[in-house]
């Protein structure tokens, strides 16, 4: 009984493919991929709509006001209204813009985000695009986003767009390093780049429960926050400074596509975080395994998404130089420490002794770093530097 509920989507796919039983192999393969893609898109576009209204509701709650509450019961149909509005808006392309590049940028951005979603295991046997180097695929595809942001900034032929794109690329480059390096300890301990095997390796305990895993998870989460350009790290689109950054010259559905890409990127990063550190689709206790695997995955995913929204409602925007300093002076050394701590944990037997040893390594580096980075300059008057 429990098994059939768990595998219900697999069964459904097999049922859909059953009329093709006697056709050639490649046809079945193409249809199988199409079904995967359709399911992925349908689910995540719905989630995007749901999260857009939920985010405004939660932000409203945090800021002590009602969120959207006009369209439908509790304002639940707000995304429909938003979608219609975005679709019928005029699509303005600047006269001096590079038309092709301007047009391709949002498409490339959304496409890479969707591709990145493909390698995440959403449940038992539920990886849409299962390849050996799944984790590497995720980052290879994710690194293309920078080019898309640049295309948006350059193609718009606008100073604000260009500045926004420069900021975005600068911070994405800086935080891609800790993002990838914090994944390395997991890959090292599991000995595989395949997301399915990483989930399987967390059968008895989740990696977030080890010292190196906990630190790596926090670093990963912060880097993911920066990669998806969300508050407190949303300087690329800081509206008080540079209008909307690389999205300044976009309107109507192209603008919506950028937002879609941003949210899909957020889903993908959180999904990878769940896969790598929070046990993927595994239940926390054996007792709870009767609940289907995909329910667990989405429960964990929703918690992470809630934290994203919570942080947005709580924290103010950081300055760009603070973001960069934090990346290179703190995040990067700490993520290297995670690798060493994981190695120490492995070579001291993966038991509680290893647990203590790796905690010690991390604590020593953390204290040393904080002493080193402490400038002893408390609330000095702000100094300004201008370009000559």
Partner 1 sequence: MSSAAFVVIAILTLAAAVAAATLQKLMHAALCFAVAFVGVAAFFFLLDAEFVGLVLVFVYIGAVAVLIVFTILLTRRDLGKDRSFNWSGVVIAIAVFGGLLWAIFKTQMLWVAAPQIQPLTVKRIGAVLMIDYVWPLQCVGLLLTAALIGALVLVMEEKR
Options 150, 212, 250, 281; binder of partner 1; rule CB under 8 A: 150
- DSSP letter, residue 380: P
**Which token pair is 59?**
């932000």
Nearer to partner 1, 108 or 256 (CB): 108
Sole binder of partner 1 in the list 93, 130, 147, 291 (CB under 8 A): 147
Return d(Cα 371, Cα 297) in angstroms, integer.
Answer: 39
With b for 16 or more beta-carbon neighbours within 10 A and e for fewer, the 227-255 pattern comes to: bbbbbbbbbbbbeeebbbbbbbbbeebbb
Residue 361's Cα: distance from chain center in Å? 28
Return d(Cα 106, Cα 167) in angstroms, integer.
Answer: 18
Closest CA to 138 of 206, 191, 198: 198
Count residues binding partner 1 (CB under 8 A).
Answer: 24
313 binds partner 1 (CB under 8 A): no
Return the residue of 54, 109, 141, 215 that touches partner 1, per CB under 8 A.
141
Please, what sign has the CA dihedral across residues 375, 376, 382, 385?
Answer: negative
Residues between 84 and 123 that touch partner 1 (CB under 8 A): 98, 100-101
Site residues (CB under 8 A) for partner 1, limited to 182-221: 191, 193
Vertex 270: Cα angle to 266 and 271 (nearest 5): 115
Contact 334, 219 (CB under 8 A): yes
- Rounded least distance, CB 176 to partner 1, Å: 8
Which residue, 72 or 128, is less far from partner 1 as judged by CB?
128
Shortest spacing between CB 71 and partner 1, in angstroms:
40
Of 347-376, binders to partner 1 (CB under 8 A) are none
If phi > 0 it is left, if psi is from -120 to 50 it is alpha, else beta; for residue 73 that is beta
Does residue 326 bind partner 1 (CB under 8 A)? no
Q: Site for partner 1 (CB under 8 A): which residue of 72, 94, 128, 133?
A: 133
Pick the piece of the chain touching partner 1 (CB under 8 A) from 139-147, 213-221, 289-297, 310-318: 139-147
Per CB under 8 A, does 26 bind partner 1?
yes
DSSP 244: T
- Given the complex with partner 1, which of 36 and 192 has the nearer CB atom? 192
Q: Is 136 in the site for partner 1 (CB under 8 A)?
A: yes
Q: How far is the CB of 173 from partner 1 (least distance, A)?
A: 8
The least CB distance from residue 12 to partner 1, in Å, is 27
As given in the structure block, the two tokens for residue 315 are 């924290």
- The answer to whether the beta carbons of residues 53 and 35 sit under 8 Å apart is no
Binding site for partner 1 (CB under 8 A): 26, 98, 100-101, 131-133, 136-137, 139-141, 143-144, 146-147, 150-151, 154, 169, 173, 176, 191, 193
């Amino acid at each position: 009984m429990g098994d059939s509920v768990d595998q219900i989507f697999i069964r459904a796919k097999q049922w859909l493919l059953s009329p093709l039983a006697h056709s050639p192999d490649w046809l079945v393969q193409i249809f199988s991929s199409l079904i995967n893609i359709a399911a992925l898109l349908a689910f995540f576009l719905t989630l995007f709509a749901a999260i857009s209204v939920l985010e405004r509701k939660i932000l409203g709650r945090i800021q002590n006001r009602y969120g959207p509450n006009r369209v439908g019961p509790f304002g639940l149909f707000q995304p429909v209204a938003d979608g219609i509005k975005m679709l019928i808006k005029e699509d303005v392309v600047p006269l001096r813009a590079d038309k092709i590049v301007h047009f391709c940028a949002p498409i490339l951005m959304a496409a890479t985000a969707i591709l990145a979603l493909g390698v995440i295991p959403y449940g038992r046997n539920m990886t849409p695009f299962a390849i050996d180097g799944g984790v590497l695929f995720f980052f290879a595809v994710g690194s293309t986003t920078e080019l898309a942001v640049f295309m948006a900034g350059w193609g718009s032929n606008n100073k604000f767009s260009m500045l926004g794109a420069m900021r975005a690329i600068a911070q994405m480059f800086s935080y891609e390093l800790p993002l990838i390096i914090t994944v390395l300890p997991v890959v090292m301990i599991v000995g595989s780049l395949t997301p399915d095997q990483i989930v399987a390796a967390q059968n008895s305990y989740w990696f977030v429960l080890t010292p190196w895993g906990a630190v790596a998870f926090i670093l990963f989460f912060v880097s993911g926050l920066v990669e998806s350009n969300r508050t407190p790290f949303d300087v690329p689109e800081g509206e008080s400074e540079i209008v909307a950054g690389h999205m300044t010259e976009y309107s109507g559905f192209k603008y919506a596509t950028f937002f879609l890409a941003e949210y899909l990127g957020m889903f993908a990063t959180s999904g990878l975080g769940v896969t790598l550190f929070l046990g993927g689709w595994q239940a926390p206790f054996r007792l709870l395994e009767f609940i289907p695997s995909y329910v667990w995955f989405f429960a964990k995913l929703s918690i992470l998404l809630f934290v994203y929204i919570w942080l947005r409602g709580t924290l103010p925007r950081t300055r760009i130089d603070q973001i960069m300093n934090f990346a290179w002076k703190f995040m990067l050394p700490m993520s290297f420490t995670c690798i060493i701590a994981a190695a120490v944990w492995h070579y001291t037997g993966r038991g509680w002794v290893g647990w203590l040893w790796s905690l010690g390594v991390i604590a020593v580096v953390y204290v040393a770093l904080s002493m080193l980075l402490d400038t002893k300059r408390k609330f000095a008057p702000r100094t300004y530097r201008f370009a000559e």
